[in-house]
Amino acid sequence: MKALSIIAWILFALAAVALVATVPIENSYASKSNLIQRVQITEADKLFGSQGTPVGSPAQYIIEDKEAFVGATEDGVQLVDEAYLEANGIYPLQLKSVEATIGYVRIAAGIAAFLFGAVGILAWRKAKTGSFELKAPVKG
C-alpha cells in the first residue's frame, strides 16, 4: 500500500507539473505568433496595385522562418508568401490550435492530478491505519 501511495504521489506531481507548465508554453507560443495574411504573389499585383492576393483571412499564426514574410499592411497585418510556404513544406501553425491543444492538456492534467491525489491520500491512510474507512466525527 505504501508503494501505491508513492506511485500515486509521483503521478500527482507529474500531472501538477504538466498543468503548471502549460502556462509558460502557451505564453511562449503566443509571443511568437503574429497576425498574418497569407498571400499569393503574381505579376498581376503591380498592375492592380495590390501586395498579393489574399489566401484566406488573416489569423494568428506561428511562422518562425523570417524569409516567408514579404511585408505588412497599413494596419500591421504581416504578409506571408504562400508560394514560399509551399516550396519549403511549411504548414503554418495556428495559435488557436495550440491554445485548444493546451486546453485539452490542462483538462487531462487537472483530472489526473485530482484522481492521483485522491488515490495518494487514500493509499497513504490505508498504509497508516490499515483501513479506507472514513470515520464520522465522534459527538460529545
Q: Which residues bind another protein (CB under 8 A)?
A: 38, 40, 42-44, 46-48, 53-57, 59, 82, 86, 91, 94, 96-97, 100
Report helix, strand or coil for 109. helix
Closest separation between CB of residue 98 and another protein, Å?
Answer: 10
**Considering only CA atoms, which of 36, 31, 40 is closest in space to residue 59?**
36
Nearer to another protein, 97 or 129 (CB): 97
Q: List b or e across 112-121, with b for residues whose CB sees 16 or more CB atoms inside 10 angstroms.
A: bbeebbebbe
Closest separation between CB of residue 53 and another protein, Å?
Answer: 5
Nearer to another protein, 4 or 83 (CB): 83
Report how far residue 111's alpha carbon sits from residue 70's, in angstroms, rounded to the nearest whole number.
Answer: 44
Q: Residues near 50 by Cβ (< 8 Å), separated by ≥ 6?
A: none
Closest separation between CB of residue 81 and another protein, Å?
Answer: 13
120: amino acid identity, one letter = G
Nearer to another protein, 15 or 38 (CB): 38
Nearer to another protein, 49 or 130 (CB): 49
